[in-house]
């Protein structure tokens, strides 16, 4: 199982690019470039941390989209909440994947 190379956030495709720790700033494991449509991810982190970082960066994209600015504290708690919620309730993911008849973006896949 690998982190996807692309993520869709609010209908926009973001490339997920690995960066080596040498390139990344100290203590920063990810970054979202709203302008470039890219989410950068430290390639040394394990899967659990990578997913948590992706949530954090996706929240930043959402904040930029909704509020036009980012809020670091808000991104931290939302990412931590969603990540631990999914870890503790993995069956929810199957409900999303297989339990919804009319997935909102199904039509776009058929174009
Ligand atoms: Zn942040």
Confidence at residue 19, expressed as pLDDT on a 0 to 100 scale = 85
Confidence at residue 88, expressed as pLDDT on a 0 to 100 scale = 97
Residues with CB under 5 A from ligand 1 (ion): 72, 75
Confidence at residue 73, expressed as pLDDT on a 0 to 100 scale = 97
Confidence at residue 111, expressed as pLDDT on a 0 to 100 scale = 47
Cα(110) to ligand 1 centroid in Å equals: 34
Domains in the chain: ranges and CATH: 6-101 (3.30.2010)
Residue 54, class by beta-carbon neighbours within 10 Å (0-12 exposed, 13-18 middle, 19+ buried)?
Answer: buried
d(CA 107, CA 96) in angstroms, rounded, equals 16
Q: Which one, of 22, 26, 20, lies nearest residue 40 by Cα?
A: 20
Cα(68) to ligand 1 centroid in Å equals: 15
pLDDT along the chain (111 residues), means of 10: 92 91 69 90 91 94 94 96 96 93 59 47
């Amino acid at each position: 199982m690998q982190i996807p190379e692309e993520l869709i956030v609010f209908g926009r495709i973001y490339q997920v690019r690995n960066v080596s720790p040498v390139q990344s700033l100290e203590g920063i494991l990810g970054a979202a470039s709203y302008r470039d449509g890219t989410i950068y991810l430290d390639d040394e982190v394990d899967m659990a941390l990578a997913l948590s970082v992706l949530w954090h960066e996706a929240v930043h994209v959402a904040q930029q989209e909704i509020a036009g600015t980012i809020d670091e504290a808000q991104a931290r708690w939302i990412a931590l909440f969603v990540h631990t919620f999914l870890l503790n309730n993995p069956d929810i993911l199957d409900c999303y994947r297989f339990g919804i008849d009319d997935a909102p973006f199904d039509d776009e896949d058929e174009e």
